[in-house]
Amino acid sequence: MTAAQLRQVTLARAWEPGAPGAQGERIEFSVALDPGNMPDAQAWQDDPAPWPTALHLSDAPPQAGEVLHDEDGWMLRFSADPDVPSHRLCHLGGGLRPGEVLTLRGPDGRESAWRVVGVT
C-alpha cells in the first residue's frame, strides 16, 4: 500500500449535551477504503507500514498513533506505545463518507459521537 492509495479521513466531535470542550476536537487517520467506503481489512493486512492517526484536542498537543484492526473491527491507538489501550470505531454501517456519524468507544467503555467531515 502506498501513501497515495490511502485516504485521509477527518472526524469532528459531534455535539453532545454536557460535553464541554468538544468544540474544535478532531481525529485524522489514513485508511484504504473499499468501493463501499468501508475500511479495507485486506489492504491493512497487506501493508507493512502503519496507517497513521492523530487526535487533536483543544487543550493539548496532537496525540499521534496508528490505525489497528482485529476480528472485532477497527481501532485507533493514539500513542506509539503498543501497551496503550486503543479506541474502538463503532457503527460504521454507512461507510466513511462526509456527514456520517460513528461512535468511538474509549478504553474505559465510554462512547462519544464523531461526524465524518472530510475524506480526501
> Domain boundaries in the chain?
3-119
pLDDT of residue 92: 92
Mean pLDDT of 36-41: 96
pLDDT of residue 39: 97
pLDDT of residue 15: 72
Question: What distance in Å separates the CA atoms of residue 2 and residue 36, rounded to the nearest whole number?
Answer: 20
pLDDT tens-digit profile of 62-119?
A: 999 999 999 999 999 999 999 999 999 999 989 999 999 999 999 999 999 999 999 9
Buried (b) or exposed (e) across 9-31, using 16+ Cβ within 10 A? bbbbbeeeeeeeebeebbbbbbb
**Which alpha helices (DSSP H) does the chain contain, by range?**
41-46
Check pLDDT > 70 for residue 4. Answer: no
Phi/psi of residue 4, nearest 5 degrees = -65, -25
